[in-house]
Amino acid sequence: MEELVVLNGGSLNGVIEIPGDKSISHRAVMFGAIADGLTRVRGCLMSEDVLATIEAFRSMGVAIDTRDQGHIKISGVGLHGLKSPARPINLGNSGTSMRLLVGILAGANIDASLEGDASLSLRPMGRIVSPLRQMGADIEMSVNETPPLRVRPTRKLTGISYSTPVISAQVKSGLLLAGLYAEGVTRISENGRSRDHSERLLPKFGIKLDISGNEVRLDGGQRLAGCDIAVPTDISSAAFFMLGAAISPASEILLPQVGFNETRNGVIEILRLMNADIEVRQKDTSGGEPVADISVKTSNLSGVNIPVELIPAAIDEFPAIFIAAACADGVTVLRGAEELRHKESDRISVMADGLRNLGIKVETYPDGISITGGNMTGGFVDACGDHRVAMAFSMATLKASGTVSIKNADGISTSFPTFFEVAKSAGLRIK
């Protein structure tokens, strides 16, 4: 897609069905692939990122049946059943795939190379490769500590105690997966709380974990057993519709069965701080994850200073939050979020450039941004291939005074392949 054009105006209404959670779908496929026996995954997100994970394991000898769209069957090969792929594994745009998969390959005793697209090839991998090397893994990466990665067979891994310098669920999960192959105990601690999908899902496969505060402990040598998994709706995808309903007139939407994990619901807390009219109903559980129906109505938003402690639980939703800030009265300030510069794009810079092009006053910092709410015009925006940036600016048109044209918006399919159909049916005026 060279350019996505969205006409200004309109509102969002109705019950909006969001596809399955991307983070959980990745993990369900990976854990099922190295489990003993059959794993069935219901509601798996069939996006480009998750399909990259599926194809990676197929290339290593795992049979995965995807004929029933979103309801897949994985014939696990066990912890030591993976085979060396015939060619490099291309993971596209998926950082989750690469960081978790390298943890598995570190102990799988096979030879494999991992590569990705131009964006993934710039993302930092030293944060996962360095502790894996401490465990005994034989891994090569570029001199800039970026992909491609080459993993060679190693005689054994040894469990380590490791404190992550950056709060990262991907790093934590990759090290836990390597810990399954290691002798002894693997302990991972963080200076804060990252998303805990791996800790919730691994026990469903029979893995015992000890969790105390922000530390998780795993004994090596445990084997996974195939099981049935139900994937909840993705809150990161739902966030764009929360944004759209909050900023547009005469809007009221219901998002059913959204994943409501407290390590992921920071976007709701932040939007509520901005006075968004959000109601959480019918709390339940699905596949070991909390879920809830979320109702959002038209709101008069106000600028806020975003609490640092909410950043890890909203790290993927800041493009949507930045658009909310541009539509709010007053100034919104975010500091302590340098990690946003290392996502699918430099989201601080790319969002700031786009907002300025739409007439919004913005100031950036190495670790954050200041956005002064105002009258948003139409104009041209470059999403730089970042799916969340493209979807955020699509929703901005609900408040803009003119049409918004978004370049390099093709990345949307990496996380939300049905976005255009869902958004049009809800009221977004996609041309």
pLDDT tens, residue order, the chain (431 aa):
568 999 999 999 999 999 999 999 999 999 999 999 999 999 999 999 999 999 999 999 999 999 998 899 999 999 999 999 999 999 999 999 999 999 999 999 999 999 999 999 999 999 999 999 999 999 999 999 999 999 999 989 999 999 999 899 999 999 999 999 999 999 999 998 899 999 999 999 999 999 999 999 999 999 999 999 999 999 999 999 999 999 999 999 999 999 999 999 999 999 999 999 999 998 888 778 999 999 999 999 999 999 999 999 999 999 999 999 999 999 999 999 999 999 999 999 999 999 999 999 999 999 999 999 999 999 999 999 999 999 999 999 999 999 999 999 988 989 999 999 999 999 999 98
Q: How far apart are the first and last CA of the chain?
A: 13
- Find, among 265, 271, 296, 273, the residue nearest to 11 by Cα: 296
In 52-116, beta strands by DSSP E: 63-65, 71-77, 89-90, 112-115
Q: Which two tokens stand for residue 377?
A: 């015009």
Q: Are 45 and 21 in contact (CB under 8 A)?
A: yes
On the CB side of 3, CA atoms within 13 Å amount to: 10
Distances (CA, A) of 49 to 234, 270, 311, 406: 14, 27, 23, 21
Q: Which two tokens stand for residue 380?
A: 């041209």
Q: Which two tokens stand for residue 103?
A: 């943890």
- Find, among 123, 63, 68, 65, the residue nearest to 93 by Cα: 123
Structure confidence at residue 431 (pLDDT)? 87
Q: Flag whether the pTM goes above 0.75.
A: yes
Residue type, position 318, single letter: F
Residue-range domains of the chain with CATH: 3-20+232-426 (3.65.10.10), 22-230 (3.65.10.10)
Residue type, position 1, single letter: M
Active-site entry in 21, 117, 234, 316: 316
Cα–Cα distance measured from residue 50 to residue 20, given in angstroms and rounded to the nearest whole number: 11
Told to judge if 293 belongs to the known catalytic residues of this protein, a careful annotator would answer no
Structure confidence at residue 421 (pLDDT)? 96
Structure confidence at residue 286 (pLDDT)? 77
Structure confidence at residue 1 (pLDDT)? 59
Structure confidence at residue 155 (pLDDT)? 85
Cα–Cα distance measured from residue 154 to residue 33, given in angstroms and rounded to the nearest whole number: 21
Length of the chain as a residue count? 431
